[in-house]
């Protein structure tokens, strides 16, 4: 029996963007996610990092079945979710829940906390009594450290602070006791002073409930604190994936190296900007046969523009998608190890 709860194979999502006037309508394909593969072990937290527009949230929404994929497979406990109809998918929703970025947008302002937390129970566990549901809600609020629960249960979202609203959103995600949770930048809308509390709460719930998590963030420092492994996305593709320590201290892909350099030493990054990354941004409408990062890579050569690199093993569970050969990758790792003491986390 596989120890992987989630397996993603050749997952792809393409949107259609229409521009121009009514008489000269132009259709452009936006390759939000482009044939990615990864898996998440039971009880593991996999982080996905990358700049805005790289496909992080789209990936999570496909896993949650909030949007339909263009192609590929999503296996949850060896069941391909992509082959299920709406009724069959609904039976699996209890096992997988999502925590969104902005709790105020996801919590109905006209509903009390008890009503918000009652919704998933009414949808998936309607066989239990009202008193049993109310007890479950009280337990969930205690779990997220909103206690005593009676002080919060009849409040409305606007009567809570930002951190408390996010805790309620977390309670709504865990109240059905799921096996998999996708957290889409759950602290990016919060004050710095409350972020650590939310992150520690998620880690605590992961241990207590044995949760498997997909953690999406643009902040590498947060990913290093939360995740067992990290996948780096660029223009809809995973360019590097591996254990957190390997990604942080031994980045192998030029894009990952640029991301890490910003966290470790901002002055070093600015002084050597052209050596690490060229100016530019993610453009999902631009699709070519070569490496998606070629235009911004300081190591690009002819092969980068003609042949798309595949994920290759660097060491152990560390994989990178780059045309730099194995010797060059090993040299980069040695250089990173030598300079590690110079970096500031």
CATH code for position 197: 3.40.50.300
Domain count, the chain: 2
Contact 230, 49 (CB under 8 A): yes
274: pLDDT strictly greater than 60:
no
**H helix and E strand count, the chain:** 14, 12
Lowest mean pLDDT among 76-80, 190-194, 287-291, 341-345: 341-345
Strand 26-41 versus strand 4-19 pairing type: antiparallel
Residue 343 pLDDT: 42
Give burial (CB, 10 Å; 0-12/13-18/19+) of 207.
Answer: exposed
Mean pLDDT computed over every residue of the chain: 85
Collapsed DSSP state (helix, strand, coil) of residue 147: coil
Of 2 and 31, more confident: 31
**pLDDT attached to residue 270:** 42
Assess whether 76 and 35 both reside in one domain: yes
Domain identity same for 43 and 79: yes
Residues 44 and 188 in one domain: yes
Query: What was the pLDDT predicted at 4?
Result: 93
Domain region containing 177 = 4-227
In a shared domain, residues 201 and 255: no
The whole-number pLDDT of residue 279 equals 57
Model confidence at 226, in pLDDT bands (50, 70, 90)?
Answer: very high
234 is a domain residue = no
Domain boundary at 194, 227, 260, which? 227
Residue 291 domain flag:
yes
Q: Decide if pLDDT at 313 tops 90.
A: no
Per-residue pLDDT, averaged over 327-345, amounts to 49
What share of the chain has pLDDT > 90, as a percent? 57
Same domain, residue pair 211 and 270: no
Sign of CA dihedral 191, 197, 200, 206: negative
Q: Burial of 281 by CB count in 10 Å (0-12 exposed, 13-18 middle, 19+ buried)?
A: exposed
Confidence of residue 218 (pLDDT cuts 50, 70, 90): confident
Q: Is the peptide bond before 53 cis (omega within 30 degrees of 0)?
A: no
Query: Same domain, yes or no, for 160 and 256?
Result: no
Residue 233 lies in a domain: no
- Asked, for residue 138, whether it belongs to a domain, the answer is yes
Q: Is the same domain home to 167 and 297?
A: no
> Do 85 and 126 lie in a common domain?
yes
What does the pLDDT read at residue 198? 94
Give the separation between CA 209 and CA 204, rounded to whole angstroms.
9
Q: Length of the chain, please?
A: 345
Dmax over CA atoms of the chain, in Å, equals: 68
For residues 248 and 307, state if they share a domain. Answer: yes
pLDDT in tens, 116-170: 999 999 999 989 999 999 999 999 999 999 989 999 999 999 999 989 999 999 9
Dihedral sign computed on CA atoms, order 287, 290, 292, 296? negative
User: 195, 227, 259 — which closes off a domain?
Assistant: 227
């Amino acid at each position: 029996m596989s120890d992987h709860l989630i397996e993603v194979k050749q997952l792809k999502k393409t949107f259609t963007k229409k521009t121009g006037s009514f008489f000269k309508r132009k259709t452009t394909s936006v390759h939000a996610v482009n044939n990615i593969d990864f898996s998440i072990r039971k009880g593991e937290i996999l982080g996905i990092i990358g700049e805005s527009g790289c496909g992080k949230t789209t990936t999570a929404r496909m896993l949650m079945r909030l949007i339909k994929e263009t192609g590929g497979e999503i296996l949850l406990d060896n069941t391909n979710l992509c082959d299920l109809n709406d009724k069959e998918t609904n039976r699996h929703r209890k096992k997988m829940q999502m925590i969104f970025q902005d709790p105020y947008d996801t919590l109905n302002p006209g509903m009390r906390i008890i009503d918000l937390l009652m919704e998933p129970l009414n949808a998936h566990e309607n066989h239990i009594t009202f008193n049993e549901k109310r007890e479950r809600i009280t337990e969930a609020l205690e779990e997220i450290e909103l206690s005593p629960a009676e002080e919060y249960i009849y409040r409305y979202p606007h009567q809570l602070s930002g951190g408390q609203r996010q805790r309620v959103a977390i309670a709504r995600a865990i109240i059905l006791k799921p096996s998999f949770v996708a957290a889409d930048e759950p602290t990016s809308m919060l004050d710095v002073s409350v972020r650590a509390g939310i992150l520690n709460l998620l880690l605590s719930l992961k241990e207590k409930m044995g949760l498997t998590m997909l953690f999406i963030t643009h902040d590498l420092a947060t990913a290093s604190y939360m995740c067992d492994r990290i996948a780096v996305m660029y223009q809809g593709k995973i360019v590097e994936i591996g254990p957190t320590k390997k990604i942080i201290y031994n980045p192998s892909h030029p894009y990952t190296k640029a991301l890490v350099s910003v966290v470790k030493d901002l002055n070093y990054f600015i002084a050597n900007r052209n050596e690490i990354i060229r100016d530019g941004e993610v453009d999902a409408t631009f699709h070519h046969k070569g490496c998606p990062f070629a235009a911004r890579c300081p190591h690009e050569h002819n092969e980068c523009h003609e042949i798309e690199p595949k994920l290759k093993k660097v060491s152990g569970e560390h994989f990178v998608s780059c045309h730099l050969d194995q010797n060059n990758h090993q040299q980069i790792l040695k250089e990173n190890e030598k300079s590690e003491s110079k970096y500031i986390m």
